[in-house]
Structure 1
Amino acid sequence: MKQTIRENWNLNSLYAGGVESEKLKDIITRLNLDIKQLYEKIKSFGLPIERSKIPDLLNLFQGIQEVMSDSLEVDEFLICVYSENVEDTKVSNLLAESSKIKAELESLKVELDQLLVRLPEKIWSDLLQQEEVKAYQFYLEERKQHANNKLPLEMEKMINDLSVNGFNGWGNHYDLLMSKLKFFEKDEKEEEISIGQALNQAMFSNDRSQRQKIARSIIKVCEKHADSFASVLNHITGYRLDVYKKRGWQNVLTELLEQNRIKEQTLLTLVSIVKQNKDIIKTFLKRKAQVAKLDKLAWYDILVPSFTTEKKVTYTEAAEIVITQFHSFHEKLGLFAEKAFKEGWIEAENRTDKTHGAFCASMPLSKESRVFLTFGGNYQDVVTLAHELGHAYHNYILHEEPAFSQHKGTSVAETASTFTENLVLDAAIARALNDEQKLSLLEMKITNGLKYLGMVPAMFEFELKLYEERKKGMLTEKEISNLMNEMDNNLYGDIVNEIDYYRWITIPHLYSTEQAFYNIPYTIGFLFSNGIYNLAKEQGTLFPAQYDELLRNSGRMTVEQLAERYLNQTVEEKRFWEASIQPTVDAINEYLLITEKMV
């Protein structure tokens, strides 16, 4: 690959003119009309429902799937437009319109649920025998089952309607507040930088004094606005708890378990294994402090590499690395990556007007994806690029399936992304020419594990405690910060003496109105993917086709079913998760062995 790869994505190939696109406006208009017509179609099914109505039911399912795809594409596209330029005010109204459409679609699905519940058993059985239904049978059965755990139809619809300006409105307000936060890179005479750039520098700059300065600037700015963010978080958690109470859900994890298609026993087993291995994380951090000649670490030291190479990675080099490693596992995956770079699916430029973070947006109508990140030239950015392209490949496989079967559990959604991370990072470790290079890459692997086995589980514990305390009433920003401090102290002990009290502000997953407890799915996905990766190494060239089938069926199986079918594993038991943690433990032990002579 000799030519320079562009760092900007092409959104115009999807909808020319962005928010002014006539094609986009036509889809929005069609969505509003189609959803209303589908409402009427559902209401037209009187009782009793006869077998002669099965063709009409099939037609209804097709119509709902079409609006699901339309709505997802519109929303994901608008998020892309907003993310590439948070100062573009034109997109706000369309995002609000998209939120309204999503709420109406959710209400339509509630109507569908009730229709499924009303079907006579004989008609239901005949319906499931229809050839086209077999491709999305799991989705229908799941919705029918979950409907029995919810409120009557009109109340569920009211919740969805009120969420537009209530629940979802608070989530949108969080995004707005975050976009307004500005920081100075060195002093107030220099250009302002965004929260994404500030966090990137605070956690990854090689200059500790610079990290410290930016980190304390983040704390200072967050402290100034903490009461506003506390208000948002209180209302999001409070709304969710009110809905759970109305539904009679005693277990605050009910929604999380349903969204992740995982049993509580499986989750509790996983969490217990993670807790059993927390001491190895402390051992690593203690050695990291010794290597850095520090008595204690600060929060802005934890993720920064102690061992680095002077050479920065260009974006073109990053593309070459990703494509090469993807090809080494699976030709189909490698060709897909080539297509993504060639056709401008990736926004990677480092600039101030972008939002922070990284994501992959699915465009089911176009059967494409768009990947967003800020590329700074570190190898971690290469890993992030591989991660998001893993999501895109997962989308690529699922775009050939019915819309009902594209709906995957949130933890399984992390499977392909973590898998491609491992591909890129392990290959680099294997090619290391000396201890310095090897330590740099080992530390990166360990740090990724630290996030999923340390920081994310700690955030899960924080959320559990937050919801428990929120049941008693509103929390002040100080009380929320104290909860965060308590969880971090449990994680790090006395190894870290400067804590990010306001991390609850800068973690957007805490403010998700679509996904409950949207942190722990990353740990589930990380460990589940590690289990898949272990099997891939064992089976070699025999595995890629099996891997594609696992991804293809991720929208119609639970975590337990996928593991049993494709991995021959029982994930309710400890053995699978213990083996999945082992690669991180092995990397830490190798790091400790090599660095022994340095302390």
Structure 2
Amino acid sequence: MSTNTYSLTWDLDVFFKGGSESPEFAQYIEEISRLVEKFENQISQFIAPKHSEEISDLNEIIESIQEIGKKLQQASGFVSCLQAQDMADQKANLLRSTLTQISASFSTTVTKFHDQLTKIEENVWEDILEREEFSEISFVLNERRQKASELLSVDQEALITALSVDGYHGWGQMYDTVVGKMEIEHDDKVLSVGQASNLFSSKDRKVRKEIFEKWEETWGNESDYFAKILNHLAGFRLSVYGQRGWSNVLKEPLSINRMSNETLESMWGAIIDNKAPFVEYLQRKAKILGVEKLSWYDLDAPVADIDSTVSYSEGAEFILNQFDQFGDELTNFTKMAFEDSWIEAEDRAGKRPGGFCTGFPESAQSRIFMTYSGTPSNVSTLAHELGHAFHSYAMKDVHTLNKYYAMNVAETASTFAEMIVADAAVKNAKTEEERLALLEDKIQRSVAFYMNIHARFLFETRFYEERKNGVLSKNRINELMEEAQKEAYCGSLEEYHPHFWASKLHFYITSVPFYNFPYTFGYLFSLGIYAKALEEGKSYEKKYIALLKDTASMSVEQLAQKHLGVDLTKREFWEKAVKLSLKDVEEFLSITE
């Protein structure tokens, strides 16, 4: 197979030359500041129209929101990349603080605008939405008006936003700072937490156990800080909810994800009722590894002794070949991402752990961040992040206000891309041993979505409920974490990871609350889509792109009804999707009989 050589590092100069010291970027931030000031002036003079004819101001305001929104996302994407590629980049951290400040001002002004929308009479509002220039974005405008009606007064919301810069978001940034300084020593080497986490999939149980013990100890040593940060984040959020009269901690995450509680409960219900085969898989894996019961550090352990590391360029070619079976748009897009250096994959110290994809809407590009060490799981992660990037690309011609899709559907395109690659890897395995390893890699993902994410959901929900009554000690947080893990994994492990709450960035992300269940939603939703793609072959890509285009302009229930003809509030869809992933477990159990 002829393999192109692709760059392991990304190109950020195409946006702004000079990294965090870029004079061009400094000017860009000043420009955003000026636009936000101008926008504040615009809103201060805006009065809710009394008739549907009085809409020229409304048009101009929506154009300003689009322009500033794009620029803020572009700037934020750039800073995220700078911070991730070098955790010691102090200037990037300062830039993040500046952007947080500007975003807060913009957000406050947008809140004032939304408040004016609530003052428009219902019949006038309906007339406005029917007008040609607004019909395309009627769902989003309606949603914004509705949400505004559930908030406090404009002044109170402005105060909350202003205080959140040095309060709420400040604590989130504090977490990043502490993690950025953390190191783990192993084998006379000093590893970043990202490099250390890669060793959990080592073949050698001694290495895994050693890393896990140091991992627990390292996070434990800093857990005073993390407990303080987590308590303050939750405390801030709960205070705001309390002021708004919201008693259910899931109200905001469900609203952000445009989904109902019925859908969430149906999804978890279908999973809980179908966990038994996964427990059987974990027991079988323990037997293969020669232990009584698996421990947390065995979950990612390889079951087959194969040295299947693939170079970055080989991994890229494999992804391209598999995407090609699905559709030309996805393939051509991915080829461009590799050729134009959209991906930072180099395995080096000083990088942030984990992986992400961020968009640069003004340049109609994305950037992908990860640390590639050649494992099958790395290839899957790469495919996953490319799925995210394709989602943004598929929406390139959509109205800017219809591009803000939620986390749960954001995880759909990524998981779908990952599935194409993981499935193909199993089918193309050269030996039985390799087939087993790759099949198990797929099952590990199901276990992550049904058990690990479930544990996060249980933990976070319970933590918030207890936090309503006061601050929790680090020991109590450890207990809650371990209880959630035991329940989610059906008691199938020997040893759990009590400091998981400290090591998992998702609990500290301030832009979105409860970044857990959307992953599982995306996984199961994409399984449903994947089943369709297998049925219809390459011709399905057009329908798939049509679905992606709609992801930010309707509720997930409407999206599923329109594009898949299913009702997400009922268990049937979720049961079917879970059953698709059970096939892998059945195959694994029969191979390892």
Question: TM-score, normalized by length of structure 1?
Answer: 0.97
By how many angstroms is 1:494 displaced? 4.6
SS in 1 for 2:416: helix
By how many angstroms is 1:535 displaced? 1.2
By how many angstroms is 1:399 displaced? 2.9
Q: Counterparts of 1:472 and 1:95 in 2: how far apart (Å)?
A: 33
By how many angstroms is 1:134 displaced? 2.4
Cα pair 2:49 2:55 within 8 Å, conserved: no
Matches within 5 A, 1:372-451: 372-451=369-448
Counterpart in 2 of 1:368? 365
SS in 1 for 2:137: helix
Deviation track 1:406-433 (CA, whole Å, cap 9, x = no partner) reads 1001100001000001100111212223
SS in 1 for 2:253: helix
Tell me if 1:593 matches 2:562: no
Cα pair 1:308 1:436 within 8 Å, conserved: yes
SS in 2 for 1:196: helix
Deviation track 1:233-290 (CA, whole Å, cap 9, x = no partner) reads 0000111111100000011110011111101111111011111112222111000000
Q: Counterparts of 1:400 and 1:22 in 2: how far apart (Å)?
A: 31
Matches within 5 A, 1:259-274: 259-274=256-271
> Which of the numbers 314, 317, 323 marks the counterpart of 1:320?
317
Q: Counterparts of 1:247 and 1:177 in 2: how far apart (Å)?
A: 32
Counterpart in 2 of 1:57? 58
Tell me if 1:302 matches 2:302: no
In structure 2, relative to structure 1, the CA distance for the partners of 1:26 and 1:97 (3 Å cut) is: same
Structure 2: which amino acid aligns with 1:32? S
Cα pair 2:202 2:302 within 8 Å, conserved: no
Count how many residue pairs are aligned between Structure 1 and Structure 2: 592
Structure 2: which amino acid aligns with 1:328? Q
> Which of the numbers 235, 241, 252 marks the counterpart of 2:238?
241
Cα pair 1:458 1:491 within 8 Å, conserved: yes
Q: Counterparts of 2:489 and 2:335 in 1: how far apart (Å)?
A: 41
Structure 2: which amino acid aligns with 1:526? Y
Cα pair 1:281 1:454 within 8 Å, conserved: no
Counterpart in 1 of 2:222? 225
Counterpart in 2 of 1:506? 503
Cα pair 2:258 2:406 within 8 Å, conserved: yes
In structure 2, relative to structure 1, the CA distance for the partners of 1:127 and 1:21 (3 Å cut) is: farther
Instruction: Name which of structure 1's ranges 398-407 and 560-569 shifts more when overlaid on structure 2.
Output: 398-407
Q: Counterparts of 1:30 and 1:50 in 2: how far apart (Å)?
A: 34
Q: Counterparts of 2:456 and 2:332 in 1: how far apart (Å)?
A: 37
Tell me if 1:85 matches 2:83: no
Structure 2: which amino acid aligns with 1:564? Q
Tell me if 1:334 matches 2:328: no
Deviation track 1:18-63 (CA, whole Å, cap 9, x = no partner) reads 2222332222112111112212212212366444431221111011
Unaligned runs of 5+ in 2: none
Deviation track 1:480-522 (CA, whole Å, cap 9, x = no partner) reads 0011111112233453222111000111111111111111110
Matches within 5 A, 1:86-485: 86-186=87-187, 190-201=188-199, 203-485=200-482
SS in 1 for 2:55: helix
Q: Counterparts of 1:545 and 1:118 in 2: how far apart (Å)?
A: 41
Instruction: Name which of structure 1's ranges 272-281 and 556-565 shifts more when overlaid on structure 2.
Output: 272-281
In structure 2, relative to structure 1, the CA distance for the partners of 1:485 and 1:436 (3 Å cut) is: same
Q: Counterparts of 1:51 and 1:126 in 2: how far apart (Å)?
A: 6
Counterpart in 2 of 1:66? 67
Instruction: Name which of structure 1's ranges 478-487 and 20-29 shifts more when overlaid on structure 2.
Output: 20-29
Unaligned runs of 5+ in 1: none
Cα pair 1:51 1:123 within 8 Å, conserved: yes
SS in 2 for 1:362: strand
Instruction: Name which of structure 1's ranges 390-399 and 21-30 shifts more when overlaid on structure 2.
Output: 21-30
Moved over 4 A (4+): none
Cα pair 1:360 1:388 within 8 Å, conserved: yes
Q: Counterparts of 2:56 and 2:218 in 1: how far apart (Å)?
A: 59
Structure 2: which amino acid aligns with 1:86? M
RMSD of aligned residue pairs (Cα, Å): 1.3
Structure 2: which amino acid aligns with 1:503? F
SS in 2 for 1:184: strand
By how many angstroms is 1:552 displaced? 0.8
Structure 2: which amino acid aligns with 1:362? G
Tell me if 1:3 matches 2:10: no
Q: Counterparts of 2:448 and 2:305 in 1: how far apart (Å)?
A: 19
By how many angstroms is 1:135 displaced? 2.5
> Which of the numbers 514, 531, 549 marks the counterpart of 1:534?
531
Structure 2: which amino acid aligns with 1:534? A
SS in 2 for 1:518: coil
Deviation track 1:540-588 (CA, whole Å, cap 9, x = no partner) reads 2331100001111111011101100100111111110011111221111
By how many angstroms is 1:321 displaced? 0.7
By how many angstroms is 1:308 displaced? 4.4
Cα pair 1:278 1:491 within 8 Å, conserved: no
By how many angstroms is 1:93 displaced? 1.2
Q: Counterparts of 2:305 and 2:106 in 1: how far apart (Å)?
A: 49
Q: Counterparts of 1:439 and 1:46 in 2: how far apart (Å)?
A: 65
Structure 2: which amino acid aligns with 1:63? S
Cα pair 2:47 2:116 within 8 Å, conserved: no
Q: Counterparts of 2:308 and 2:41 in 1: how far apart (Å)?
A: 62
Tell me if 1:17 matches 2:18: yes
Q: Counterparts of 1:576 and 1:172 in 2: how far apart (Å)?
A: 39
Q: Counterparts of 2:453 and 2:125 in 1: how far apart (Å)?
A: 41
Q: Counterparts of 1:362 and 1:338 in 2: how far apart (Å)?
A: 17
Cα pair 1:42 1:115 within 8 Å, conserved: no
Counterpart in 1 of 2:565? 568
Structure 2: which amino acid aligns with 1:192? V
Cα pair 2:296 2:495 within 8 Å, conserved: yes
Cα pair 2:283 2:492 within 8 Å, conserved: yes
Structure 1: which amino acid aligns with 2:119? R
Instruction: Name which of structure 1's ranges 112-121 and 44-53 shifts more when overlaid on structure 2.
Output: 44-53
Matches within 5 A, 1:485-564: 485-564=482-561
Deviation track 1:106-153 (CA, whole Å, cap 9, x = no partner) reads 212211211211123343223212323223221111011111111111
Structure 2: which amino acid aligns with 1:448? R
Cα pair 2:325 2:538 within 8 Å, conserved: no
Cα pair 2:52 2:125 within 8 Å, conserved: no
SS in 1 for 2:221: helix
Structure 2: which amino acid aligns with 1:162? L
Question: TM-score, normalized by length of structure 2?
Answer: 0.98
